[in-house]
Chains A and B, each alone.
Chain A
């Protein structure tokens, strides 16, 4: 074995330039593949993270709410729900909310809005909403006021201190009505949110929608310590809550984002595929030339008593050395780069940025450094080189030693 490795190693360095070129092509492919993958998957992770940060890993609703988001499918926050949440392990935080559509008017201007009743402190600690205030103040617990997006303020020609009139459908067919002073104006990355959202205290929202009984909610966002525990948490919550409730996971709630990701991912994979074909071809042609030019040497070796499988082994060792070298050098080069961009995300512009903003995600590009990306790209390169070694395997096991030594 040692001698076989020695032969393989020296074979490779007999034509130093060709070997180095082949190694370089492996390096280049791995570097490009990892760069592309890390960037792409990093952006997906970023999107999902931002999305989950907004809606939670799962939400508890009254059964059927997610399908048809009507205020009539709101539910009252009962002790049993609190108990269920408290007794389920793995939950890091819960955010109750009450959302309802309503008309907002000021002066003679009117616009449809989404009223979102939240717990100001809890919401802030999750999404840093107070940091998005561009004018006035964030919601306080006691105050009977609202904050609105800057686009909405602009449309309704309102400013901090003006009073917003909200009219909508309340719970159980009543009319919801209220006047709220604007304490602050926020600016979120998403245009849609800036022109539609009205945040108020959960208590105020509950009084707005149904003043006769406290504790009305449309949902509770649930955050987890470890996202991997989602299935268990979901199952456990559903059993405890019973059949009148549903637990909707982020994959359902963020299906738009996931779909956009999937479409985008296909193009990325296509690029990778092309890249791989190029490397495979490069490795293959080197192996092919090495095999062809050595057919005389091979025939001598078999004549004197070397088994064909031993020659096959030599070829395989050569290929493994090439790809191993390529992969190692490639990883050495690209890893620091990826870690750098992981720590210092690239700011985005243009249509990509718009896409992010639509989903209310900060338009930056952090690179992913998940181990599976490295593992999968490296594995693919190895598989490719093993495939290219099939040629010498077939060649060596078939070729006629007498023909090869004749000329």
Chain B
């Protein structure tokens, strides 16, 4: 099952804790005979999922760890796809031999989410009915739908029960969805910098991003494939997003009021503050690798996310869970503030579920979940280490 095979590219020098060359794979998980039924009521007759794996599945098939990516992530979580790559996978500092998700011990899986634009079926994929890209004909998807796809992938990989599901931000929402939708398929979940219910503040920022895309003339009702894509709209959406990923403190430290390329104010509207050029750079580079329609669908999925729907309270809702939880929040994260994670931790504890809640001190804001690798590594290594050494008790609910 290992994906650590050499590619055809010339050898590259890897660190000892790198997974080295990896390859992405694609698998069709749903078809006309067995379509994917979505929460909105629509069905998808063809769903392909792109995924990568690192490490090897053990004999008992009980060392699987699923990594769920955030909004802009993809299946390429660790290692190098080719010798020409400038950067390794998006969570390479956490996945590898001896790292937090130790590939010597665990079989790590990461797949691109449903609705994505990195190999998994999404609005830019070809609609089998029309043989053209879906665009806005793609049905509205939810976090639950994404997790249903992941569960199917896990089945295909021959894993009955995952050791853990881990993810930050929107990936964290997926981990929570796993815990309540497939409680018997996972021994532990590790939601990081996330929430059980997207707040009106987060929905507000998402809507500004979507409006920027809608109002780009190139968007053309979502029908822009093969033409000029709505890059300006998507770039603005990403700029707004990046503001929410930072913190007051981290902006002070990173940019201050520093000017770029200028010594004095120009008294014009060129990009002169460093923070401006940072946001523009982030916005522009994002358009090179991301599809605007996917941005619309994924932010909508996040906005709909609310684990309390259909339940009188969060406590009642979390009763569905039957696994261990390690909740990690970051002190300066104002997009998914620690108090929301804490509330969830309390709802789990109320149900007698094994839950640890920790708030890591950090100035990085929401981005901390990608940057505080050292603190996260110590926490995750300790948690997974014990979990893996302990026989699966199955029942993590109190017997009281």
- The answer to whether A and B come from one shared complex is no
